[in-house]
Amino acid sequence: MGKGGQLSEGVIKNIILSYTYVAIWIFLSFTVIVYNKYILDKKMYDWPFPISLTMIHMSFCSTLAFLLIKVFKFVEPVSMSRDTYLRSVVPIGALYSLSLWLSNSAYIYLSVSFIQMLKALMPVAVYSIGVLFKKEGFKSETMMNMLSISFGVAIAAYGEARFDVWGVILQLGAVAFEATRLVMIQILLTSKGITLNPITSLYYVAPCCLAFLFIPWIVVEFPILRDTSSFHFDYLIFGTNSFCAFALNLAVFLLVGKTSALTMNVAGVVKDWLLIAFSWSVIKDTVTPVNLFGYGIAFLGVAYYNHAKLRALKAKDAQKTAQQVDEESGRLLEEREGNEGGRKNEPED
């Protein structure tokens, strides 16, 4: 604090930078979601090939990640053996490819606003899978919170004007695979001391995703694309779309690195409400009062979950700090006693 309780110039600069990173992340996340919807929706750009679109993203991201790490040395690569890659990264890549494929497919059948409402189930899926794999402890309070989120999403689904069963199955599948991927990152990478930021993650995982997606692409989409002689690759559309997807990963790197993961979660809530408003006002998707009421319940549940997680993290940090202080005090006491004992043992003149 400066004179009169004013914030110092350095603090103000950090606050402005933090809000700038948040704004950039919200803008890019917003842009990627709406852009993907535009490309895949049959009423818009009308290119309903979600596997192909995801493969284009992965090819672009793999290339840029390679250049940033190997050529420009922007990020240091992670030391990883072939065995670790096959046992840890490949399963995560498989889950990520399925998550992206299904989530992009859902844009063909569902509105942007309803997809955001369904994504509120992510904490429920992560917690449930975490309990299943014994990475989370079962707590009645947390489970009640998860049930409240699920109840809110169920109400939102009941009030959905453009409800499509297949689209809901695809989006719920995407949530399940993404939640499993997040838990697997903890089990297969974090527990082994391997930490991947968004750039190194793309460097290792994107080529793996590309390989997994190639199999369904050959069977499902390639025959249709091959027979569609009128299709010409639009470099402007797909190039800018892929660049936005890669820039979003860079924004995640900056946002989490300069602020915190919790800031990103809070920013995500703001982004979801902006997308619902945009979907209703610009894309003209129908958003009913029942939709909003259900999502409001789910939103409160997610907000409480994030608050509980923050409280638990603060308690853990406080306990860790207290333990470090106790250890330091014990060490100093031992040193003092040792010095006093040494003086007593000194021979008198």
Q: How confident is the model at residue 164 (pLDDT cuts 50, 70, 90)?
A: very high
Triad 141, 142, 143: Cα angle to 5°: 90
Are the C-beta atoms of residues 292 and 277 closer than 8 Å to each other? no
Q: How far apart are CA 239 and CA 245, in angstroms?
A: 10
pTM of the predicted protein model: 0.81
Q: Among 56-65, 75-84, 334-343, where is mean pLDDT lowest? A: 334-343
- Render pLDDT for 34-51 as a digit per residue (tens, 0 to 9): 999 999 998 888 899 999
Where along the chain do its domains lie? Answer: 51-235+261-319
Tell which wins on pLDDT, 335 or 209.
Answer: 209
- Render pLDDT for 174-215 as a digit per residue (tens, 0 to 9): 999 988 988 888 888 777 788 888 788 889 999 999 999 999
Burial degree of 73 (CB within 10 A; 0-12, 13-18, 19+) = exposed
Q: How far apart are CA 203 and CA 53, in angstroms?
A: 19
pLDDT value of residue 340: 61
pLDDT value of residue 268: 76
Q: How confident is the model at residue 239 (pLDDT cuts 50, 70, 90)?
A: very high
Residue 7 has phi, psi (to 5 degrees) of -75, 145
Helix axes 198-220 and 50-66, enclosed angle (nearest 10): 150
Distance from chain centroid for Cα 321: 29
pLDDT value of residue 294: 92
pLDDT value of residue 254: 72
Look at residue 253 and tell me whether its pLDDT is greater than 70. no
Q: How far apart are CA 295 and CA 299, in angstroms?
A: 6
Q: How far apart are CA 154 and CA 298, in angstroms?
A: 9
Burial degree of 309 (CB within 10 A; 0-12, 13-18, 19+) = middle
Tell which wins on pLDDT, 303 or 296.
Answer: 296
- Render pLDDT for 99-145 as a digit per residue (tens, 0 to 9): 999 999 999 999 999 998 999 898 889 889 988 988 888 888 888 98
Residue 89 DSSP class: I
